[in-house]
Amino acid sequence: MRTEGNTVKKTIDRYRSFRYALILEGIAVGAISGAVVVLFRYLLSYADGLLRSVLDYGRDHSWFVPVWFIILAAAAFVVALLLKWESFISGSGIPQVEGEMIGELDPCWWKVLAAKLGGGLLSLGCGLSLGREGPSIQLGSMAAKGLSRLTGRAKTEEKLLITCGASAGLSAAFNAPIAGVLFSLEEIHKHFSPEVLLSTMAASITADFVSKNVFGLQPVFNFQITKMIPLNAYGHVIVLGVIMGALGVVYNTCLSGTQDLYQKLPCQAAKLIIPFLLAGVFGFTYPYVLGGGHSLVEILTSGEMMLGSLCLLLVLKFFFSMISFGSGAPGGIFLPLLVLGAVIGNIYFSAVGMVSDSLNGLLGNFIILGMAGYFSAIVRAPITGIILISEMTGSYSHLLTLSMVSLAAYVVPDLVHCAPVYDQLLHRLLSRLNPDKMSPTTGEKVLVEGMVFHGSEAEGRKVSEIQWPRTCLLVSLMRGEAEFVPGGETKFAAGDKILVLCDETVQGELHRVLQAVCETVKMGRKV
């Protein structure tokens, strides 16, 4: 008991005193995770150039075409072996990071780093319609976890460092430090606190500095949008947002259906061979759909593609993205869905242009509106989407219209109860995992943060009236600037920040209780 008591005391004391130490640790995580992601990004740029050279050679030398398909089949087999060696590299990696944050998963950090780096390079390098951001976030998180394990950090501190790594990963992948911070808070950690904010800012800014020393100061999308949407055209922004919301529901539904279909195939190699061979077919027939589509966005802004070509591009890119991600190949959905949003925005602009000239000169505006709206509808992290698009385009002049389209796009899937894509993927991941894949039991104590929302079940209730998981203890309650230790008769108020000490084994259950009782608004509840 004395040893356990000392461990608990050490955990709480460390939590109260490490705010500024976390800034230094965030800088260290940003440098390490940023370097890993920059290496990944650099190798991907080399692989992309190599892919273009290979496809050009195959078009000029027909004998090489079957050779390339054999190479693609071999690459699919290698990726299948990597997935068998470390299954947690499947897909984007963001659900895996979220699962670790709630205590449900505990992958081996070095195996994920090695396998994700190799599998991601093969999948994206061969032309699958996948993005670099998901792997970058997972690589950044695992690099941070490795630092934590090598320096003997406690579990509570390790989770903060993992959040820092996720922030650094997105920052280095897209030269978007503010979006990196917001995504890690909005999607990964799901709580705002000074400790998390300061450390993730330090990590994200450091990773961005590392990235810009390699790739330069230019934003990811090198096009300028100087014209503002006139106020009399704001109705189009709302309409586009509603369309994006509906199409976001289609995206999430199709993604789930595609994964269900893939489950019927006998083995991982059979699943992967489909997108890899399709990448070969599209490479020689319609290369626009290959890869994440970074260069495609800049082609769209030129306005050279006609409405029919845009519709064909949308259908094929959507189809290939579903096939690529549904197979379980290591790669993300951020960039492909942003590209799809850009195509939809372009289609809307072109369709309106056929009947009216009210949107003349606003093509670039509707491309970024499409990107932000589609991201908000699918991921349901609108603030991250708004800032991400602003940073990727190097302009903050369009925050009002980006906010309007994101809000409209968010509401539609929320009304029809369509789950956000990463929640959907995490639920699927946890439901199919074997017990031995779950987080192992160590007996270590973990501190978990929660917030009491306005209108939640906990608001106005006593601490003793909440059904807490076993081995949980409320050790702190922050109300405004005041902090005190709550008792059983303490009543929760909206805005209270609580700190719960629990055994690592019930961390996942505690997160679910906090979400259901403290962080879910109960409409019509009387307090």
Q: How many CB atoms lie within 10 A of CB 400?
A: 12
Percent of the chain at pLDDT exceeding 70: 92
- Report the pLDDT averaged over residues 330-344: 92
Among 39-48, 301-310, 333-342, which is the least confidently predicted range?
301-310
| Confidence check: pLDDT of 11 > 60 | no
Residue 501 Cα distances to 104, 416, 459, angstroms: 17, 36, 20
Strand order in the sheet with 482-484: 445-451, 497-503, 472-479, 482-484
Type and span of the H or E element at 251: helix 234-262
Strand partners, 483: 478
Interval 63-115: pLDDT, tens: 999 999 999 999 999 999 999 999 899 988 899 998 888 878 888 999 999 99
| Confidence check: pLDDT of 142 > 50 | yes
Interval 396-430: pLDDT, tens: 888 899 999 999 999 999 999 888 898 888 888 88
Top pLDDT among 221 and 296 is at 296
Amino acid 526: pLDDT: 47
Q: Long-range contact list for 414-422, CB < 8 A, 24+ apart? A: 414/380, 416/249, 418/248, 418/249, 418/252, 418/253, 419/252, 420/252, 420/378, 420/379, 420/380, 420/381, 421/251, 421/252, 421/255, 421/333, 421/378, 421/379, 421/380, 422/94, 422/95, 422/98, 422/187, 422/379
What are the structure tokens assigned to 486, written together? Answer: 């709550």
Of 270, 371, 344, 324, the C-alpha closest to 129 is 324
For residue 363, report the phi and psi dihedrals to the nearest 5 degrees. -60, -50
| Confidence check: pLDDT of 395 > 90 | no
Type and span of the H or E element at 486: none
> Strand, helix or coil at 472?
strand
- Report the pLDDT averaged over residues 1-15: 52
Q: How confident is the model at residue 249 (pLDDT cuts 50, 70, 90)?
A: very high
Amino acid 298: pLDDT: 79
Of 479, 478, 477, 467, the C-alpha closest to 506 is 467
Q: How many CB atoms lie within 10 A of CB 407?
A: 16
Q: Which residue has the tokens 């460092």?
A: 161
- Report the pLDDT averaged over residues 246-274: 91
DSSP-assigned letters across all residues of 129-170: S-BSHHHHHHHHHHHHHHHHHHTT--HHHHHHHHHHHHHHHH
Alpha-carbon Rg for the chain, nearest whole angstrom, is 23
Burial class (CB in 10 A: 0-12, 13-18, 19+), 12: middle
Of 136, 159, 147, 82, the C-alpha closest to 109 is 147
Amino acid 257: pLDDT: 92
- Report the pLDDT averaged over residues 224-253: 91
| Confidence check: pLDDT of 13 > 70 | no
Amino acid 141: pLDDT: 94
How far is the first Cα of the chain from the last one, in angstroms, to the nearest whole number? 40
Amino acid 29: pLDDT: 94
Dist. CA 344–CA 353, nearest whole Å: 14
| Confidence check: pLDDT of 288 > 60 | yes
What are the structure tokens assigned to 20, written together? Answer: 């500024």
Top pLDDT among 197 and 320 is at 320
- Report the pLDDT averaged over residues 157-184: 90
| Confidence check: pLDDT of 9 > 60 | no
DSSP-assigned letters across all residues of 73-141: HHHHHHHHHHHHH-GGGSSSSHHHHHHHHTTSB---HHHHHHHHHHHHHHHHHTT-S-BSHHHHHHHHH
- Report the pLDDT averaged over residues 255-284: 91
Residue 299 Cα distances to 60, 280, 328, 362, 396, angstroms: 24, 22, 29, 15, 22
Amino acid 295: pLDDT: 80
Amino acid 12: pLDDT: 58
- Are 104 and 432 contacting, i.e. CB atoms less than 8 angstroms apart? no
Residue 14 Cα distances to 116, 146, 237, 447, 511, angstroms: 33, 20, 49, 11, 22
Q: If you average pLDDT over every residue of the chain, what do you get?
A: 86
For residue 106, report the phi and psi dihedrals to the nearest 5 degrees. -150, 70
Dist. CA 156–CA 137, nearest whole Å: 20
- Report the pLDDT averaged over residues 124-133: 91
| Confidence check: pLDDT of 2 > 50 | no
What are the structure tokens assigned to 494, written together? Answer: 């909206």
What are the structure tokens assigned to 215, written together? Answer: 């790739």
| Confidence check: pLDDT of 441 > 70 | no
| Confidence check: pLDDT of 527 > 70 | no
Dist. CA 475–CA 156, nearest whole Å: 14
Dist. CA 378–CA 238, nearest whole Å: 17
The predicted model scores a pTM of: 0.85
| Confidence check: pLDDT of 259 > 60 | yes
Top pLDDT among 184 and 405 is at 405
Residue type, 159: K
| Confidence check: pLDDT of 122 > 50 | yes
| Confidence check: pLDDT of 432 > 80 | no
Interval 450-495: pLDDT, tens: 888 888 888 888 888 888 887 788 888 888 777 777 888 888 888 8
- Report the pLDDT averaged over residues 335-344: 93
Among 53-62, 124-133, 496-505, which is the least confidently predicted range?
496-505
Among 10-19, 106-115, 243-252, which is the least confidently predicted range?
10-19
- The DSSP call for residue 306 is -
| Confidence check: pLDDT of 241 > 70 | yes
At residue 372's C-alpha, the angle toward residues 370 and 374, to 5°, is: 65
- Report the pLDDT averaged over residues 383-392: 88
Dist. CA 313–CA 358, nearest whole Å: 25
At residue 252's C-alpha, the angle toward residues 249 and 258, to 5°, is: 135
